[in-house]
Amino acid sequence: MRMPTLEQTQRLLWRLITAPSGVADGLRALDDTDRLSRDGLEAIVNGDVVLPAVRRLDIYANMYFFRLLDALKEDYRAVLATVGDASFRNLITDYLLHHPPSHPSLRYAGKHLPPFLRSHPLAQAQPFLPNLAAFEWALVDAFDAPNADCITRDTLAAVAPGAWPKLRLQLAPSLQLLELDFAVGESWQRVQAGQPGGEPTRRANWVRIWRRELRVLLREIAADEFAGLQAAAAGESFATICERVAEHERSEERIAALLQQWLADGLLTGCDRWHHT
């Protein structure tokens, strides 16, 4: 047999380690072109009576799966508490098949779970799961987002009245905006308190999650505020932000109240002149 190259060796090991039902099944699933030799894995990996080659590789396969499972259990505590250990484990098996990690940091391994859940059979029985997962991932993202200093009332007071329509507001980089079909924030809070998450109420709701100094905060907001913040986050002008808010409630007092709230919550980190791009 020709000696396998480093790349051939690594690609073979990667396929076998990530095979969902173990190395032996992974070996059977290889087609002839994937096989490096007729003699099987033993021609590449040393084995002995005590520990045959397949078992040696299975040690790595187990560590791969359980390390990721443990990391995702941390990120998705409420999803785990809701579906239980066995279903969560099956979910992660399916997930890793579709989204094997590619980022150098384990921190990002769970990034695709919320959209993945939308088409997963678990969500047919419990349709709130994608919302719950999106909520938990927003917490992860807010936790280590970039720092930014807040502006104060004085910064806005210094803006000339004529400049307001073209003013662009900069938002805290940690701000996560969620439009949800289920009140998953309530079930998340129950899990935090050590209670069963239970099934959340089905109702449209809007949530913002952000970080102030080192603390991650969350607030349920109204649809008009969500629309205004979404426009601000997209870099729209203040005039457009007002229009988006006004689609829900047309009142100058409302916009003024929202600005006050955003200042008080530390959501505003800068403002500059809007340019059409």
Q: Which of 10, 21, 152, 189 binds other proteins (CB under 8 A)?
A: 10
What's the CA gap between 88 and 86, in Å, rounded?
Answer: 5
User: How many CB atoms lie under 10 A from the CB of residue 38?
Assistant: 8
Please pick, from the candidates 28, 38, 86, 105, the single residue that binds other proteins as defined by CB under 8 A.
Answer: 105
Cβ atoms 35, 1 nearer than 8 A: no
* Sign for the pseudo-dihedral over CA of 82, 18, 100, 109: positive
CA distance 252 to 248: 12
Nearest distance in Å: CB 198, other proteins: 29
Interactions with other proteins, residue window 111-150 (CB under 8 A): 143-148
How many CB atoms are closer than 10 A to CB 239? 13
DSSP string for residues in 134-176: HHHHHHHHHHTSPP-PPP-HHHHHTS-GGGGGGEEEEE-TT-E
Nearer to other proteins, 20 or 198 (CB): 20
Nearest distance, CB of residue 81 and other proteins, angstroms: 21
**Residue number with CB closer to other proteins (5 or 152):** 5
**Which 18-77 residues touch other proteins, going by CB under 8 A?**
18, 42-46, 50-51, 53, 55-57, 59-60, 63-64, 67-68
To the nearest whole angstrom, how small is the minimum distance from the Cβ of residue 212 to other proteins?
A: 11
CA 57/CA 54 separation, integer angstroms: 5
Residue closer to other proteins (CB basis): 26 or 130:
26
The binding site for other proteins (CB under 8 A) comprises 3-7, 9-11, 13-14, 17-18, 42-46, 50-51, 53, 55-57, 59-60, 63-64, 67-68, 100-107, 109, 143-148, 173-174, 211, 214
